[in-house]
Structure 1
């Protein structure tokens, strides 16, 4: 069993959990993820590691309540236990001294980009951070993110915080003003990562994205998380989750992300149903 040490409500749909998992905390690196299961009847869900404390033996997760399991998870409290907590999984980020780097977190992507930003800063890079969300209520960890950066920008779709616009707009502006950017890491919704990669591709700026593909076992056996990168089929769980953004088939990713939308909606409705009204029982 894995105890929830801390719960923090970041917004009505965003939750932060600190989980007691010393073996995972001892080995994990920036860019990796875990798979958890709430109970014996629960599904396995992958969540990227937002932070870790090796001395305390804890892992920090930040997630949005979008489906049945994340909604169920969001109702848990500090002191509750998770049945399974497997990791670290996936390949860690390639951390080296690139020069001037831009670290982009869009929406919940702010969480996984945070430890990568910290590691890139510790490696001696000049770090420019960009945090974006639909509105100011969905922004979080901006102070923590900013503390790891030499320069920091905030944007929101509706202009309620920072500059009005998208993370890709800020990226364009940074490139225009700086003249040279050596490396970009962008994490967030698929459309945001796609557009950021399209901005940097003509300029030949090395760009990596982290893919949150549909996943089952997380060890490369099921093939559910396959992605097309260049002319090759890769598995996000063992070959990723980070890939060259200029080679990822984002249109395929968008299509695959929609495959189980109807089933996901029915699961949410069944979980909230009191019985006798919708025929789910």
Structure 2
């Protein structure tokens, strides 16, 4: 059992929870994720780590109540317990593996959309703690959906934008990035984009035009989180990969976003899963017991 130490609403439909998990907190790095299980019959929910404190033994998750289990999670309070929390899983951000002196020479920009702001924060924090202050562009539909603003300001050069213009400026994250590069003379060696699939796709379209190498996090398509179900199957430069075990971070300019988004929709139905199994053969990688790929 894993105790919830704190639970709070960051926005109308976005919730943050601090979980007591000393072993996980001791070993996790930015870019990795957890699997949370509400109770014995609850589904396994992969959630990117938003923050961690190895000294206090705490990990922080941020989520939107969308499915049955996350809606139940939203009703939990401090003092309640999760049945199980597994992690850290996935590969950490590649920045954590680089030589710090070489990393300090790079100009880095992050583009986050919506709840994608949560996994951006631990990366920016890690960089800041190692003497690197990156630029961060955070976008949301409205002012009310901007999250972690104060925390982000502490560890980055923060640029905010909203689709409806209700806060700071009107426009998308891509508009801000183009403005920084083309009008403000900014140069970036690498961009990291995390958010909805369609957002990451259009960031990559822009950064390819601007010739900025780009990393994306494909955590939005994960279901099982252990490489068993095949839901997060991707084509990366024509090669089959799985977001949960090979990622979740990949070279954004090599990701087939159109196929990934189409596949994401198909995977939601029985007929779609059956068609994917037929089309993908051995690479379908089904082990979820739902799509038949494990038979």
Q: Is TM (by shorter chain) over 0.5?
A: yes
In structure 2, what is the equivalent of residue 229 of structure 1? 236
As a proportion of its length, which structure holds more helix? Answer: 2
Q: Deviation at 1:159? A: 0.6
1:227/1:173 Cα in 2 relative to 1: closer, same or farther (>3 Å)? same
Please name the residue that 1:85 is paired with.
Answer: 85
Q: Which runs of 5+ in 2 are unaligned?
A: 271-295
Tell me the equivalent position of 1:254. Answer: 261
TM-score (norm 2): 0.85
Q: How does 1:128-277 map to 2 (within 5 A)?
A: 128-149=135-156, 151-176=157-182, 177-259=184-266
State the shift of 1:67 in Å.
1.6
Alpha-carbon offset, residue 262 of structure 1: 6.7
Deviation at 1:260, TM superposition (A): 5.2
Map 1:34-183 onto structure 2 (within 5 A): 34-95=34-95, 96=98, 97=103, 98-149=105-156, 151-176=157-182, 177-183=184-190
Count of aligned pairs between the two proteins: 262
Per-residue deviation at 1:122? Answer: 3.4
Answer with 248-257 or 217-226: which moved more: 217-226
Residue 275 (structure 2) aligns with: none
* CA shift in 2, pair 1:16/1:191, >3 Å: same
Distance in 1 (CA, whole Å) between partners of 2:43 and 2:16 is: 20
Partner of 1:268: none
Deviation at 1:258, TM superposition (A): 2.0
Residues 22 and 58 in structure 2, CA contact (< 8 A), matched pair in contact too: yes
Residues 228-278 of structure 1, C-alpha deviations (whole Å, 9 max, x = no match): 111101010111001111011111221123235579xxxxxxxxxxxxxxx
Which segment drifts farther, 30-39 or 97-106? 97-106
The aligned counterpart of 1:277 is: none
| Superposition TM-score, scaled by structure 1 size | 0.89
Displacement of 1:197 in angstroms is: 0.8
After the TM superposition, which of the residue ranges 188-197 and 124-133 deviates more from structure 2? 124-133
Give the alignment's Cα RMSD to 1 decimal.
Answer: 1.6
For 2:133 and 2:55, how far apart are their aligned partners in 1? Answer: 28
Aligned twin of 1:278: none
What is the distance in 2 between the residues matched to 1:178 and 1:126? 18
- How big is the shift at 1:213? 4.5
Secondary structure in structure 1 of the residue aligned to 2:219: coil
1:125-148 CA-to-partner distances (Å, cap 9, x unmatched) read 341111111101111111111111
**Does the aligned pair in 2 maintain the 1:213–1:236 contact within 8 Å?**
no
CA shift, 1:114, in A, is: 0.4
User: Could you report, residue by residue, the CA deviation over 1:213-234 in whole angstroms, capped at 9, with x for unpaired residues?
Assistant: 5434423233222111111010
CA contact (8 A) 1:129 1:146 kept: no
Equivalent residue of 2:199, what SS?
helix
